[in-house]
Chain A
Amino acid sequence: MSHSSIDIVSPVAVPRTIRIDGSWVLLALIAIMALLPLVASPYVLLLMLPFVGYSIALFGFNLLFGTTGLLSFGHALFLGVGAYTAAVLTSKFGILSFEIILVAAAVISALVSVVIGGLCVRYTKIFFGMLTLAFGMLFHSFLFKFYAVTGGDQGMRVLRPLLLGMEWRGGKTAFLTGAFYYYALTLFALMGLTMWRITRSPFGLHLRAIRENAPKAAYVGVEVFRMRLAAFVISAVYGGIGGTILAVTTGLADPELAYWTHSGNLVFMAVLGGSGTFVGPAIGALVFVVLQDFVMALTQYWRFVMGAILVCLVIFMPQGLAGTIELLFSRRDREA
């Protein structure tokens, strides 16, 4: 599998031709998204919001999965943490400022993930996956059963937040496709570019070294446990922020957000786009959201279609969409 888009830049001479790497694709995606409201219908714009939420969560997820090589099967837990933070702050405490909600979601996710990560990252492979799944389900059954605190299966309402301290009037759709759309897009850009910096930093290099060979990395001085924990915490913060966007979009925080099949969907998106590339997971989120919407409109048996797509994907295109395109390009380069 090729990882060229997330390899660090070599300090040698900058190549004269502009290489199309992950950051360019990300910028192009942001530009298209910014212009989208000029042409697209509110329906399409509403579809873009979950995409933005999932992409942010997936940037974090893939720092763990693609970069560090740890497959979490309980990452939806942090979507739940973010969503319920938004719900509790807006409907129980009357705190409507979205900036405060974001900070709170990030801080709570970080705190939760330090505890969970501290226990989980000592294990790798299937053990890590099962342990994260157990914690995810632990959180889910807490949300589901403690009706008085969490609203049980009914979930909790998420009220319309203030953006930059300002109140936004108008209908729900107008708010979501207008001010909130651009706000979410700005967050997407900031979080995406930050993650680009993180993966290309020495820290990112440490994580890749751990993925390739943890004992060897430890031998040359990488603090494996601390680095894995740091990656886990960062991915949790991304998950929490993604979760608040999802919650504001639907206006509801419900336990299904933290259910293990939702974690499975996150893995699905990452692999669909290509977890070996930087923008792959974001592209995976886009394709997943659009595809699911499309298939749901066609048939009520959309899960069957999505499942079949997943099976075919794993068998025939394990590099995902972005990875396959990258492979095609690199093959052409070699031939040229």
Chain B
Amino acid sequence: MTELVDVVLGGIFHAAVLFLVAAGLQLVFGVQKIVNLACGSFYALGAYFGITAVGIAIKLGMPPVLFFPVLIVAGLAIGLVGLPIERVLRTVYRRDESYQLLITFGFLLMFQDAFRYLWGATPRTMDNVYLAYGTAHFLGVRVPTYNLLVIAASLAIAAVLGLFLERTRIGRIVRATAENRDMAEGLGVNASRIFALVFTVGCMLGTVGGALVVPSGAASLDMAVELVVESFAVVVIGGLGSMRGALVGALIVGLMRAFSISLMPELEMLSVYLVVVAVLILRPAGLFGKATA
């Protein structure tokens, strides 16, 4: 029983982070119709920058307990790199989607070496800070409190994002632009400003996700390319462009991975891809996608 709770909690923690990145991917795809291969790079960027930011904060004499808000602020701040990248992407909005995919692949390659240059090739960790919050008892299992904080933060971000898109004026404009860009422009929407906003928010979701995950693991050069496939799996399972899909997809992928790691480590990612393939065959639009194919 305790083992089961342990595995489920681990899966949900992973899902919480995965959701943030996948939500960024969904938001950008939903509005700009671009599948952003660089989403994994944003995630890695958040992770590396988070380490640096916490390092600086501690050097300035900040108590380790405050590192959680520091990470969130760092993630949001570095997410602003989305702005200049969107300026470049803007040139290919009207092009064939293969070119859009390829240009984000180019960004991925560039980021890869930028990380190597700035932070070196060996994985970076944030050793002792992780346990500053101690551990909590949950259904008879000891879990780092930090993991629970991350899950809570991810849920909070999901709620804020949902409220923003559903309830605010700008959120309505974003949805209208996603639905029909030309019509929205005809009604006086400045679509390029909306695109810049959406891409930057999408980017911030990725960087915050990366910043939150790094205390429990490490920032490494592989994390970008590995996470791309995982978040792809999430959006394919959940349905391209659907936020609810990202949430459910992230849970499925996170739990799937946690269970296969504990039961049969060889199947770690294989099981995830099998679910992806099964979903694509049975419900090509994903669980929450619109029925287009």
Within 8 Å of chain B (Cβ to Cβ): is A127? yes
Within 8 Å of chain A (Cβ to Cβ): is B102? yes
Contact with B along A245-269 (1 / 0, CB 8 A): 0000000000000011100100110
Within 8 Å of chain B (Cβ to Cβ): is A81? no
Q: How many angstroms between the C-alpha atoms of A119 and B276 in the bound complex?
A: 12
Closest CB in chain B relative to A264 CB, distance in Å: 5
Q: Are the C-beta atoms of B270 and A71 separated by less than 8 Å?
A: no
Q: Are the C-beta atoms of B225 and A260 separated by less than 8 Å?
A: yes
Of chain A, the residue at the smallest CB distance from B228 is A260
A119 touching B281 in the complex, CB below 8 Å, given contacts A307-B108, A318-B99: yes
Q: Which of A273-310 contact B (CB under 8 A)?
A: 300-304, 306-310
User: Using Cβ atoms and an 8 Å threshold, which residues of chain A touch B293?
Assistant: 122-123, 127
Q: Are the C-beta atoms of B277 and A119 separated by less than 8 Å?
A: yes
Residue B273 contacts which of A65, A137, A304, A315 (CB distance < 8 angstroms)? A137
Closest CB in chain B relative to A89 CB, distance in Å: 24
User: Using Cβ atoms and an 8 Å threshold, which residues of chain A touch B267?
Assistant: 145
Q: Are the C-beta atoms of A130 and B232 separated by less than 8 Å?
A: yes
Within 8 Å of chain B (Cβ to Cβ): is A191? no
Q: How many angstroms between the C-alpha atoms of A9 and B134 in the bound complex?
A: 75
Q: Are the C-beta atoms of B113 and A127 separated by less than 8 Å?
A: no
Q: Are the C-beta atoms of A301 and B280 separated by less than 8 Å?
A: no
Grouping DSSP codes into helix (H, G, I), strand (E, B) and loop, the A interface class, with mixed when no group exceeds half, is helix
Tell which of B89-97, B142-150, B164-172, B191-199 binds the partner: B89-97
Within 8 Å of chain A (Cβ to Cβ): is B35? yes
Grouping DSSP codes into helix (H, G, I), strand (E, B) and loop, the B interface class, with mixed when no group exceeds half, is helix
Within 8 Å of chain B (Cβ to Cβ): is A58? no
Q: Are the C-beta atoms of B95 and A308 separated by less than 8 Å?
A: no
Of chain B, the residue at the smallest CB distance from A271 is B102
Q: Are the C-beta atoms of A310 and B105 separated by less than 8 Å?
A: yes
A310 touching B103 in the complex, CB below 8 Å, given contacts A125-B97, A134-B276, A304-B109: yes
Within 8 Å of chain A (Cβ to Cβ): is B110? yes
Q: Are the C-beta atoms of A127 and B280 separated by less than 8 Å?
A: yes
Within 8 Å of chain B (Cβ to Cβ): is A97? no
User: Using Cβ atoms and an 8 Å threshold, which residues of chain B touch A308?
Assistant: 106, 110
Within 8 Å of chain A (Cβ to Cβ): is B274? yes
Within 8 Å of chain A (Cβ to Cβ): is B233? yes
Within 8 Å of chain A (Cβ to Cβ): is B159? no
Max count, chain A CB within 10 A of own CB: residue among B98, B117, B268? B98
Q: How many angstroms between the C-alpha atoms of A122 and B97 in the bound complex?
A: 18
Of chain B, the residue at the smallest CB distance from A146 is B266
Q: Are the C-beta atoms of B114 and A304 separated by less than 8 Å?
A: yes
Closest CB in chain A relative to B19 CB, distance in Å: 19
Residue B233 contacts which of A123, A134, A267 (CB distance < 8 angstroms)? A134
Of chain B, the residue at the smallest CB distance from A309 is B106
Of chain B, the residue at the smallest CB distance from A311 is B106
Q: Are the C-beta atoms of B229 and A260 separated by less than 8 Å?
A: yes
Within 8 Å of chain A (Cβ to Cβ): is B88? yes
Q: How many angstroms between the C-alpha atoms of A130 and B29 in the bound complex?
A: 13
Q: How many angstroms between the C-alpha atoms of A135 and B233 in the bound complex?
A: 11
A138 touching B103 in the complex, CB below 8 Å, given contacts A127-B284, A307-B108: no
Interface residues of A (CB under 8 A from B): 65, 71, 73, 119, 122-123, 125-127, 129-131, 133-135, 137-138, 141-142, 145-146, 259-261, 264, 267-268, 271, 300-304, 306-311, 314-315, 318
Can you add 18 more A-B contacts, CB < 8 Å, to A123-B280, A314-B106? A122-B284, A122-B293, A126-B97, A130-B35, A130-B236, A134-B277, A138-B274, A145-B269, A261-B225, A264-B37, A303-B110, A304-B110, A304-B117, A307-B109, A309-B106, A314-B95, A315-B88, A315-B103
Contacts A/B (CB < 8 Å), 11 sampled: A123-B284, A133-B232, A141-B268, A261-B108, A267-B98, A268-B105, A304-B109, A306-B109, A308-B110, A314-B102, A315-B92
